[in-house]
Amino acid sequence: MSRRIENCDEWSNPETWTVCRAAVIDPDNARTWRETTAAMLADESLSKDRRQLRNALARELREEFERFCCSYAGLAHDLLELASARVDWLEVADELLLDHSKSKSERD
């Protein structure tokens, strides 16, 4: 089931919604995450097990966010870490997988 990306109330919390919007809507981020999702789907060791695929994508999202957080120091870093702890990374991964399937059906 698809949620409306513009409606924060349909997501588990504002932090998850914010990360998801950045990953799906922002042109540079969306391109990167569509490519990452497609590559993971092409990986036979992941594509056969939806749960494993979802977990791997969520882990990649979180690791990328943590690399981004490391570029900041002090209060900004601390706030980003606090927000990261609240993000439901699996929920964002689900949306990326859904976005991939929508994009694929539009191309077909």
pLDDT of 43 reads 87
Tens of pLDDT along 47-83?
788 899 999 999 999 999 888 877 888 998 899 889 9
Given a cut of 60, whether residue 2 has pLDDT beyond it is no
Helix (H) or strand (E) holding 77: helix 74-86
AA letter at 5: I
Average model confidence (pLDDT) across the chain: 86
Tokens (6 digits) for 89: 């990374």
Helix residue ranges per DSSP H, 14-49: 14-24, 27-42, 44-47
First to last CA, the chain: 20
Reported as a pLDDT band with limits 50, 70 and 90, residue 1 is very low
pLDDT of 104 reads 64
The domain segmentation of the chain, as residue ranges, is 8-107
